[in-house]
Structure formats: structure tokens, C-alpha cells
Amino acid sequence: MKGEVEMKKSLIGIAILLFAILLQQCSAGMEIFTLTIGLVGLTTTIFYGVKSDQRKS
């Protein structure tokens, strides 16, 4: 079970790092579209990570 928690935390960490890279690499004219996709992905990752942690407890 401890391995699952560490894996979920690392996945959330990777998602946050990828979102930070996305913020740096936004191309001209596509910022809103790109940031929307990034925010949806980041929110989904965090939401399901927290939701699955609560279900296990």
C-alpha cells in the first residue's frame, strides 16, 4: 500500500512539472487552448489522486 501512495505522489509531481514546462513553452496564438488542456490534465490528475487516496482510507 505504501508503494501505491508513493506512486500517486510521483505521478502528481510529474503532472505539475509537465504543467510548468507547458507554461514555459506556450506558442504564440495558442496559449489559451494549450493552457486549457494543461489545466484540465493537471486538475484531473490531482482530483483522481486525492479521490483514490480517500477511497483507500
Distance CA(37)–CA(24), nearest Å, equals 14
pLDDT at 17 over 80: yes
Q: Where are the domains of the chain?
A: 2-56
What average pLDDT score do residues 13-36 get?
Answer: 78
Q: Which grid cell sits at 14?
A: 510529474
Distance CA(49)–CA(40), nearest Å, equals 14
Nearest to 24 by CA among 38, 10, 13: 38
What average pLDDT score do residues 6-26 get?
Answer: 80
Does the pTM surpass 0.75? The reply is no
pLDDT of residue 9: 76
Q: Which grid cell sits at 15?
A: 503532472
pLDDT of residue 49: 76
40 or 7, greater pLDDT: 40
pLDDT at 48 over 70: yes
